Structure 1
Amino acid sequence: MEQWNSWLDQEFWLNVAIVVVASALIYSVLRTLVSTLHKRLKAWSKGQDGSWPNFLAAVIGRTSRSLLLAFSLLLALRLPELPDGWQSALSHTWFVALALQVALWVDSGVRLWSRSLLMSKNGGHYNPVMTTIISIMVLIVVWSVMLLSILANLGVDITALVASLGVGGIAVALAVQTVLSDVFASLSIGVDKPFEIGDFVVFGEVAGTIEHIGLKTTRIRSLSGEQVVCANADLLRQVVHNYKRMDTRRIVFKFGINYDTPSDKVRQVAEAVGDIVRATPKARFDRAHFLGFDESQLTFEVVYIVLTSDYNQYMDIQQEINLQLLDALRDLDVRFALPRRDLRLVGERTPVIKVAGMPQQVDDSDPRDDQRLPRFS
């Protein structure tokens, strides 16, 4: 009977009515504020997809209506007089609602950040695998911290839970250490950026273009056409030559001319080479010198800089220099050196080789017949 009297108590129903009306008003105000702020930020970021107002608008748009209603109800429950037990429960509920909403905002921000990097026009500057891994790790940390904080706030002892998670994590890490080494190598590639998709690299016996940087492997399209798959950890242990990052090429080449060339023409050859390189587009002359005396030639060394990283353009430039060098040496009446061997017989006659069916001529001009060499047939 007393219970029914409490339910029929006018003060109780008055408090209920106050809470309901206050919750509705507070919810309407909060909803209007969030909607107005979202629209204003959207208007400021019109035509600017990557701007911070657009980012904030997307994060605020993730505000949960259920949590707004919970906030409104919690605020309204502060108006009437409540027992101490209710006040304690409300304080815990406040923290739970706030933690959930903050986690939702951070989740939305991280997802928007990773999506903007992957879909941006300059997406080639970012490793999509690294971006995805970092976003997943951040989300795991955010939601884990949120859940542990809620449990701790509700009075649950999370020490044993954290210790169990730590031991389990160590066991899993030992079981998949090879995979984890490749995953961390992928993160290292994404952060340090020794190479990116589209770069031409050379390491060991492999030369090709980076096609894909994955979670465990990197795929390279080699010059011969096949795809080379290399583990990320193994790839970082090697010396990698990245030719895409090369702005210029320093070219050194040599050629030789005949020993019979006069010294004045040797000087003219060096000057002609310099003029040829200077007149070639995308080539900067460095030096051309008569280097030294080799076994069968007078050797020149030429150094110039190619003002492009493209290998095909470098070959075009070298070909043009070679062709003009041929013409210049013909104009100077200078010959390229050819390998030559001089054989001299001292005190002996030249051997006579007899070929079957051919008349033989014997040179009897040498009076030393006793030293004449035998004939070969």
Structure 2
Amino acid sequence: MKFWSQFTFVRSIELENWLTAGAVAVAAFVLMHALIAWARRRIARLAEAGKSDRPYAEVLAATLGRTSMVAVALTAILIGLTVLDLPTPWDLRVRNLWFITLGTQLVLYVDHAVSVTSRRYFRTHAKAPDAPATVAHTLLNWAMKTVLWTVFLLAVLANLGINISAFVASLGIGGVAVALAVQNILGDLFASLSIAVDKPFEVGDAIVVNGVSGAVEKVGLKTTRIRADSGEQVVIANADLLKNTVRNYKRMANRRVAFPLLLDPATPVAVAREIPARMKEIVERQESVRFDRAHLKNVTQDALEFEVVYFVLVPSYGTFMDTQQQVLLGALELMEELGVGNVRPVQRVAVDMARGLHVVGEEDQDSEAGNEPAPAARLGVRTV
């Protein structure tokens, strides 16, 4: 009975006023529906006329497409109720409904506008029009929409007379507790945000991290997926990924190649003098290569060490290996042409078990003295 007693004002309002309110509500619905339809057609034509120079038209056209007919109908009913002379409690409730209805529709507009605007922005700055959504796009949408709906919910509660101060304080304390409980997840989340903003790598880049070499397939909110060169998919947490050194070979402008060339230490000086110039000729015969230098770096009793340095101007690993192969084959042909080798000489050492060390190939003082030891008393040792 208490519930029905609240509707006693209905009997106090005359039928003529109810009919008037209904007519006003219907007229308001028709008028708002017509205005929205006209605005959508008008803005759609503007968007089609100039998509490049009128981006706001595309955003407005997509935003108006999110108009809720339920919200329009409720707004029309509330307009009709304003014609009636309502008592104080119901007048306050109607005002609350006004705020909720119009606020919900406005938030829907802003929500859709955020989606369309962010999608357009990232599509414009993407390398390919059909590129998948990036982490920055996903995080931006999620953050802005979360803030939008949270503020609207708090505003609705405040409009209904609920004290939200204690509620906000509770959310803060609860947020700290949740953050401590899921700190690893939040660490990966913020790491993905760092990857999205700093962009140390992107989808499709060839990287090496923590001993894993492959192409980036997807950068998610918590993990990054890498298709390894051996074929399997490797999943790495974003926080762990940023703790390690990442080598991004996709952004390599060129490759610096430095390799040693070891020759027999008995190589004549005149022949050794020709090596740098001849190696320069070999390197410059290759395509997409810039020669840097070739020098005799070191001279030891084991080898003459030359160092050859050049740059491959194409970052492709296959091109690098093809070029290096041709340069090495050219070096082998050059050594064959000059009659020099790159193998250290073999020294044979004979050990006289009775009288000590004897080196085969050097002048044998024992032989000159006629004291050649018996063959069975020698142990041949080959050293390299």
Above 0.5 in TM-score?
yes
Give yes or no for contact 1:258–1:334 (8 Å, CA) kept in 2. Answer: no
Residues 1:61 and 1:334: Cα distance change in structure 2 (over 3 Å): same
The yes-or-no answer on 1:279 pairing with 2:285 is yes
Q: Which position in structure 2 is the counterpart of 1:269? A: 275
Does residue 167 in structure 1 map to residue 173 in structure 2?
Answer: yes
Letter in 2 for 1:376: A
| Residue matched to 1:32 | 34
Asked whether 1:204 is paired with 2:210, we answer: yes
Distance 1:123 1:253, change over 3 A: farther
Q: Is the 8 A contact 2:63 2:109 kept in 1?
A: yes
Cα distance in 1, alignment partners of residues 105 and 357 from structure 2: 108
In 2 relative to 1, CA 197–73 (structure 1 residues): closer, same or farther, beyond 3 Å?
Answer: same
Task: Name the structure 2 match of 1:372.
Answer: 372
**Deviation per residue, 1:29-87 (Å, 9 max, x gap):** 32222222222333333498895433321111001122223334444555676666665
Aligned to 2:23: 21
RMSD: 3.8
Counterpart pick for 1:92 among 92, 96, 121: 96
Partner Cα distance (2:238, 2:10) in 1? 73
SS at 2:376 equivalent:
coil
2:9–2:86 contact (8 Å) kept in structure 1: no
Q: 1:292 aligns with which of 298, 318, 324?
A: 298
The answer for the alignment partner of 2:344 in structure 1 is 339
Q: 1:59 to 1:279 in 2, by over 3 A?
A: same
Q: Distance in 1 between matches of 2:294 and 2:85?
A: 97
- Give the corresponding residue for 2:112: 108
The one-letter code of the counterpart of 2:191 is: A
Amino acid at match of 1:147: L
- Kindly provide the amino acid, as one letter, of the partner of residue 231 in structure 1: A
Instruction: Specify whether residues 9 and 291 from structure 1 end up closer, same or farther in structure 2 by C-alpha distance, changes over 3 A only.
Output: closer
Structure-1 residue corresponding to 2:5? none
Structure 2 SS opposite 1:285: strand
Aligned equivalents of 2:317, 2:145: Cα separation in 1: 44
Matched position secondary structure for 1:155: coil
- Of 176, 187, 196 in structure 1, the residue corresponding to residue 193 of structure 2 is 187
Higher strand share: 2
- Secondary structure, aligned partner of 2:257: strand
Seen in structure 2, the aligned counterparts of structure 1 residues 364 and 151 have a Cα distance that, compared at 3 Å, is: closer
List per-residue Cα deviations over 1:318-375 (Å, max 9, x = no partner): 11222233334444x2523211254688x999689xxxxxxxxxx9994524x43343
* Contact 2:259 2:308 survives alignment (8 Å): yes
TM-score (norm 2): 0.78
Listed one character per residue, the Cα deviations across residues 255-295 of structure 1 (whole Å, up to 9, x for unaligned) are: 13334444444343222222222231111122222223133
SS of 2:293's equivalent? Answer: strand
- Per-residue CA deviations over 1:111-135 (Å, capped at 9, x if unaligned) read 4457666998737876645543443
Give ranges in structure 2 of 5+ residues lacking alignment.
1-7, 378-384
The offset of 1:146, in angstroms, is: 0.9
Alignment partner of 1:317: what SS?
helix
- Letter of the 2:66 partner, please give it: R
Aligned counterpart in structure 2 of residue 153 of structure 1, from 138, 145, 159:
159
Deviates more, 1:271-280 or 1:50-59: 50-59
Contact 1:351–1:375 under 8 Å retained in 2: no
Question: Compared with structure 1, are the counterparts of its residues 307 and 124 closer, same or farther at alpha carbon in structure 2 (3 Å cutoff)?
Answer: farther
Distance, in Å, in 2 between the alignment partners of 1:113 and 1:190 is 18
* Equivalent in the alignment of 2:68: 64
| Distance of aligned partners of 1:275 and 1:334 in 2 relative to their CA distance in 1, 3 Å threshold | same
Normalising by structure 1, what TM-score?
0.79
Q: Distance in 2 between matches of 1:313 and 1:241?
A: 19
Q: Matched residues in 2 for 1:104 and 1:59: separation? A: 8
Aligned AA (1:373): P
2:241 aligned with 1:235: yes
Query: Residues of 1 paired with 2:43 and 2:127: CA distance?
Result: 23
2:128 to 119, 122, 133: 122
Deviates more, 1:111-120 or 1:211-220: 111-120
List runs of 5+ in structure 1 lacking aligned partners.
Answer: 353-362
Contact 1:213/1:219 (<8 A) preserved: yes
- CA 1:72/1:275 → structure 2, altered by over 3 Å: closer, same or farther? same
SS at match of 1:376: helix
CA–CA distance in structure 1, aligned partners of residues 317 and 11 of structure 2 = 94
Checking the alignment, whether the CA contact within 8 Å between 2:366 and 2:372 is kept in structure 1 is no
Flag the 1:125–1:279 CA change in 2: closer, same or farther, 3 A: farther
